[in-house]
Every structure is written in C-alpha cells, then in structure tokens.
C-alpha cells in the first residue's frame, strides 16, 4: 500500500531543509476530517526559518508537488498544511491489499527481533484468580500482536512453584493426605490442607520446624519431597490447563520459579562481586537509595532462603543469554510495581550488557473491581476464574436463547460470545485503569463490548451470504465508495497495521480494542445509511466488497485479542 505519510514527508523534504525523521514526526492526523487526512503544522519551523507559520505554509504549498503521492489536494488553514488523500486511490489501495493478503496487516517489521513476554504465572496450589486472568489475556494479546508483526516471541509462564509454603504442604499431606481427594479438586483440597497445616504451625513450633525441614529437603532434591512437590504441581497445572483451554492460551515456555533454584548462586556471586550485596540484620540486600528507591532489594532473607526477587534476577540472566531479548515484558498487576523497580535496578549489577537492562519493562495493569468494591479472597468475594468463564458462557447462552432461539450450535456460539466478552472487557480500557466487572455491561450487544463486535461481524456475514458471491476486486468500481461512510471504513482499514504498531510501542492492547469498536461503529453507520442490495450492480458490488473487507479486519483484529468469531449469533 502507498504510505501516504511517507510520501508527504518526502515531498516536504524536497522543499524544506530539515531532517526527514523530524518532519515526519510533526505530521498529525486531524481529529476533524474537514482538516484533511494528514496535517503539517508549521509552528516549529517558524523559529528556525524566522517567518510566520501561515507564510511558511503558503510557501510550501506553492512549491510542493503532489504527483504520485496519492494526495489529491493540500489546503492552508492558518499555520497548517492540510493534506487530503485521494478517495479513489485510498479505496483502490486498501481493497487490493485486502484481496492480496491471506492475513491483512501481517507484517515483517519485527523480523529478527526477540521479545520475551512473562505473563499469566499463577501459583501452584493456589487459585487461578481474576488478576491472573488479566495477565493471561493482556500478555496473550501482546504475544499475538508481536508475532503478527513478525517478531520472534517467547511467551513464558513463570509459574509460582517455589517457596517455603511447599514445605508446609508436604507436611500437611504427610499427615492427612488420605483425607483429601486432591486428584479430583486439586486447588480446593490443597488450599484446605494449607490452611489446616498453617494453623497447626501456629500452635506447634515442632510442626513448623518439620515444614522448614521439608523445604530444605526439597531444595536438596530429596526424592520423597520432590515427588510430592511434582504431584502438587502436576495436578495444579492440570486444573490451570482447563482455563487455558477455554481461553486458547499457549506458551512457549513453562519455566517457573523453581527452574531457577540452581541458578541463584550465580546471582549472589555476581552481586557480591559488584560490591553491592551487603549484610543487613542478618539478611543480604542490595541498597537502592542511590537510585531513588527507598526499600532495598532483599536477596537472601535472614533465615537463609532466597526470595521472589532473587529468582527474578536469575531469570533475567537466563533469558538474556537464552533469548537475547530486545524487550522483556512482565505483565502483572500494579501491586508489583515496586518489586520490578527493585529487580530491574538490581539487575544493573549483574554485569549484563546494557541493552538487556534497557529492554526490561514492567507492564502493569489495574485491579478488577466488582460493582460493590474490591474482590478479596478473605471476604469470599473473589471469584474463581473457571466459574467466572462458565458463568459468562451460561449468561451468553441466555441472551442467545432470547434473541435467536432457533440458532444451531448454541453451545459453541455461547462459548465464543461468553469468553469473548470477558476477554474484550479485560482489554477494552487503558490497562492501568482499574476495571469494574459488571455482567450486564460486558455482555451488552449494544455497548462497546466484545459481543457488539461479534454481532457486527455476524451481520456482515449475513449481508455477504445474501449477496451470494464476493465480487472480484478488479471489478470493483472504487468511484462508488467516495461517500463519507465508505471512506470512514476505508481509512480505518488503511490504518490497521499502524494501530498494531502503536500497541507494541505502548504495550497497550486496548488501542486495538478501541479501534475495533470504531470499525464496528463505522460499519453500523455505513450499513444504516447505505443500502447494499441495490439494483445498480456497480454500487452493490462495491459495497459488498467493502463489507467483506471490514469483516476480514474485524475477524483478524479480534483473533489477535484472543477472541473467536461466531458465524451466526
Ligand atoms: N506468580 C506471580 C503472582 O501470582 C506472578 C509472577 C510474575 N512474573 C515474574 N517474573 N515475577 O503474583
């Protein structure tokens, strides 16, 4: 496709003596289409050229050539040059591109560039909660989008499978294992054992001692303790897998915290060598006050055990060496902002190449709130993820039952709509914002929701069915797509790849979600204003083809978010 922005930059570069990169960075996309499709403000040039912005704008307009740029006209408004894309060229470019690509928007920008995404990461023997859902959904969308742009992505599920709590679980299991059916209900039963043994530990110092001993044995590779730990891990993962199957999540690596147990001594050695590791109240810490972080990074606790941070440091070493990453993203709730600040600051002392340190990036997200307030395990308002997804499917099924009782594959569709609604809700706002989880809002077919996009797609599908065949793109008369509703859709489709790039610049999948809402809305307006099945074959074919293109992008975009499209609903 013609890159209009680059074309404009090139032409501007011929008449003003300023670096092209800089020129390009000035170009804006006006909010109001009255001001064109691209706008070049001359204010920043005014200083350098010692002329008033409108004067500069007029001079450039006189000198500039639009030939071969796809721009039909340029207008001066005050200190702005407003460029208008040729409507027919836009339509031709977009529709040809849609026709020629199996996957519209797939790109190679990321070729040869390695991205590591650490996401999901639930903890063994603990519930997979709604925060892990957000991480799974945001990380999954980022992974899909980076891959689509050609990056080499390693998605890592940094499972929480390490820590002193396993010493306790082992002891509890030893004592009462046969009372609990952990194969059937792993997480629930293991949680019960954990609560019970924890209570006993509070009463009986000797039990606590035994638990500590178990953990030590586990670290030393004791066969019995290892076997139990592996069992807890296997049954937990099996339960997590049910959620991943519902969400369609896949990871390239499942190296969890325990994977780094034999890689921590090197971290300690390196930090010691850097001179930064100091003793403090029996613990070994790295003081970070000189980089503006008040709380130190604890590497070895006073009882001699390593920490969550130590394992993250070992993981940084391992990932830098194994994946040679350009960026390593960590998708967790903003509750871990301090943790990652400390870890990234401490990582500077591991002696790694500076480029790896620069590539470390925490991608925090907000809390999920119920309309009644914060979810909490203690008050029993925390929802188990599997139950939540099942409820979403049930509720979607009720809506479908009302709207379209004769639909075939109701169950399949309800799954796509219910799960899609939950996923989209998680991705629809700026990720750091807290999100209110309200069933009526997320499943509203009329709102800015996943089901709304699916519904729009299904509507287009039925238009295409009615039309019979999709015309050949060569036979589409683009003159018939000059109206503002068609043009709005074309502009959005044109911008798809650019949207994906923006997502990767800000690690913000909501940019794509908002875009898909805009596209669905633009299609709805087009559909309401333009009759498609008209007698004039040229008009009909053009509108059918545009509908086909819009459907293709809606499907591609939602797939990148991790949703599935129903064909009917
Ligand atoms: N298991 C952790 C939790 O549930 C998240 C792990 C995030 N990744 C990391 N490398 N620290 O909070």
pLDDT at 47 over 90: no
Task: Name the fold adopted by 385-430+438-561.
Answer: Isoleucyl-tRNA Synthetase; Domain 1 (1.10.730)
One CATH from 3.40.50.970, 3.40.50.300, 3.40.50.620, 3.40.50.2300 for 119-369? 3.40.50.620
If one counts every other C-beta atom within 10 angstroms of the C-beta of residue 16, the result is 18
Over residues 479-507, mean pLDDT = 97
Pick the closest to residue 86 from 105, 97, 98, 70 (CA basis): 70
Proportion of the chain above pLDDT 90, given as a percent? 90
Q: What is the mean pLDDT of the chain?
A: 95
- Contact (CB, 8 A) for 423 and 514: no
The residue to mutate among 163, 332, 346, having the most atoms of ligand 1 within 8 angstroms of its beta carbon, is 332
Instruction: Return d(Cα 375, Cα 494) in angstroms, integer.
Output: 41
pLDDT tens readout for residues 320-362: 999 999 999 999 999 999 999 999 999 999 999 999 999 999 9
Instruction: Return d(Cα 169, Cα 315) in angstroms, integer.
Output: 25
Catalytic residues, by residue number, are 126, 129, 132
Q: Residue 33 — pLDDT band, cuts 50, 70, 90?
A: confident
The reported pLDDT for the residue numbered 376 is: 53
pLDDT tens readout for residues 353-374: 999 999 999 999 999 887 776 6
pLDDT at 490 over 60: yes
pLDDT at 163 over 90: no
Reduce the DSSP state of residue 241 to 3 states and report it: helix
The reported pLDDT for the residue numbered 447 is: 94
Output the DSSP codes for 324-347. --SEEEEEEEGGGHHHHHHHHHHH
The alpha carbons of the chain give a radius of gyration, in whole angstroms, of 28
pLDDT tens readout for residues 87-111: 999 999 999 999 999 999 999 999 9
CA of 252 to the centre of ligand 1 (A): 17
Over residues 159-173, mean pLDDT = 94
The reported pLDDT for the residue numbered 304 is: 87
pLDDT tens readout for residues 367-426: 988 777 666 544 445 577 888 999 999 999 999 999 999 999 999 999 999 999 999 999
The closest residue, in CA terms, to atom 11 on ligand 1 is 312
The reported pLDDT for the residue numbered 359 is: 98
Q: Where are the domains of the chain?
A: 4-85, 119-369, 385-430+438-561
Residue with tokens 């939540």: 388
Which residues have any ligand 1 atom within 6 Å of their CB?
118, 121, 123, 158, 160, 312, 315, 330, 332
Pick the closest to residue 541 from 448, 444, 474 (CA basis): 474
Q: Residue 164 — pLDDT band, cuts 50, 70, 90?
A: confident
CA of 312 to the centre of ligand 1 (A): 9
Q: Which two tokens stand for residue 215?
A: 């953990």
The residue to mutate among 125, 130, 160, having the most atoms of ligand 1 within 8 angstroms of its beta carbon, is 160
Class of domain 4-85: alpha beta
CA of 121 to the centre of ligand 1 (A): 5
């Amino acid at each position: 496709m013609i890159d209009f922005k680059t074309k404009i930059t090139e032409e501007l570069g011929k008449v003003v003596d300023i670096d092209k990169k800089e020129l390009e960075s000035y170009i804006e996309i006006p909010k109001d289409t009255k001001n064109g499709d691209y706008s070049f403000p001359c204010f920043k040039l005014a200083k350098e050229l010692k002329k008033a912005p409108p004067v500069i704008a007029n001079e450039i307009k006189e000198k500039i050539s639009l030939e071969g740029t796809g721009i039909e006209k340029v207008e001066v408004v005050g200190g702005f040059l407003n460029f208008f894309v040729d409507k027919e060229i836009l339509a031709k470019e977009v529709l040809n591109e849609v026709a020629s690509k199996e996957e519209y928007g797939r790109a190679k920008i990321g070729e040869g560039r390695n991205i590591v995404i650490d996401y999901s990461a639930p903890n063994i023997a603990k519930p997979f909660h709604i925060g892990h859902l957000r991480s799974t959904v945001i990380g999954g969308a980022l992974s899909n989008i980076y891959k689509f742009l050609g990056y080499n992505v390693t998605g890592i599920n940094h499972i929480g499978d390490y820590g002193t709590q396993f010493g306790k679980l082992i002891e509890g299991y030893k004592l009462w294992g046969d009372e609990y059916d952990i194969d059937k209900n792993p997480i629930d039963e293991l949680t019960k054992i954990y609560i019970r043994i924890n209570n006993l530990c509070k009463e009986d110092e000797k039990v606590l001692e035994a638990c500590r001993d178990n953990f030590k044995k586990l670290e030393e590779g004791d066969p019995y303790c290892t076997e139990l730990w592996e069992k807890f891990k296997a049954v937990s993962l099996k339960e997590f897998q049910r959620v991943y199957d519902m969400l369609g999540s896949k990871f390239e690596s499942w190296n969890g915290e325990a994977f780094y147990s034999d890689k921590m001594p090197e971290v300690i050695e390196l930090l010691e060598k850097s001179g930064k590791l100091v003793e403090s109240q029996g613990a070994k810490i790295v003081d970070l006050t000189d980089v503006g972080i008040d709380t130190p990074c604890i590497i070895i606790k006073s009882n001699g055990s390593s920490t969550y941070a130590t394992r993250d440091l070992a993981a940084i070493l391992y990932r830098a060496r194994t994946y040679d990453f350009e960026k390593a993203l960590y998708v967790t709730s903003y509750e871990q902002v301090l943790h990652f600040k400390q870890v990234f600051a401490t990582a500077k002392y591991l002696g790694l190449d500076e480029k790896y340190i620069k590539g470390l990036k925490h991608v925090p997200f907000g809390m999920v709130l119920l309309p009644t307030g914060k979810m909490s395990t203690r008050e029993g308002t925390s929802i188990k993820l599997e139950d939540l997804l099942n409820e979403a499917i049930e509720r979607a099924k009720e809506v479908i039952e009302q709207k379209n009782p004769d639909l075939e594959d109701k169950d399949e569709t309800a799954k796509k709509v219910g799960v899609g609604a939950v996923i989209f809700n998680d991705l629809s706002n700026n990720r750091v914002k807290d999100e209110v989880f309200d069933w009526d809002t997320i499943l509203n077919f009329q709102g800015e929701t996943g089901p709304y996009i699916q519904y729009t797609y299904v509507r287009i599908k039925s238009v295409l069915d009615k039309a019979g065949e999709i015309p050949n793109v060569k036979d589409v008369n683009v003159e018939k797509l000059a109206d503002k509703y068609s043009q709005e859709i074309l502009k959005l489709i044109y911008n798809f790849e650019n949207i994906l790039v923006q997502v990767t610049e800000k690690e913000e999948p909501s940019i794509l979600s908002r875009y898909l809402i805009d596209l669905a809305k633009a299609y709805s307006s087009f559909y309401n204003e333009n009759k498609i099945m008209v007698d004039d074959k040229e008009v009909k074919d053009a509108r059918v083809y545009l509908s086909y293109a819009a459907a293709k992008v809606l499907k591609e975009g939602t797939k990148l978010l991790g949703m599935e499209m129903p064909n009917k609903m």
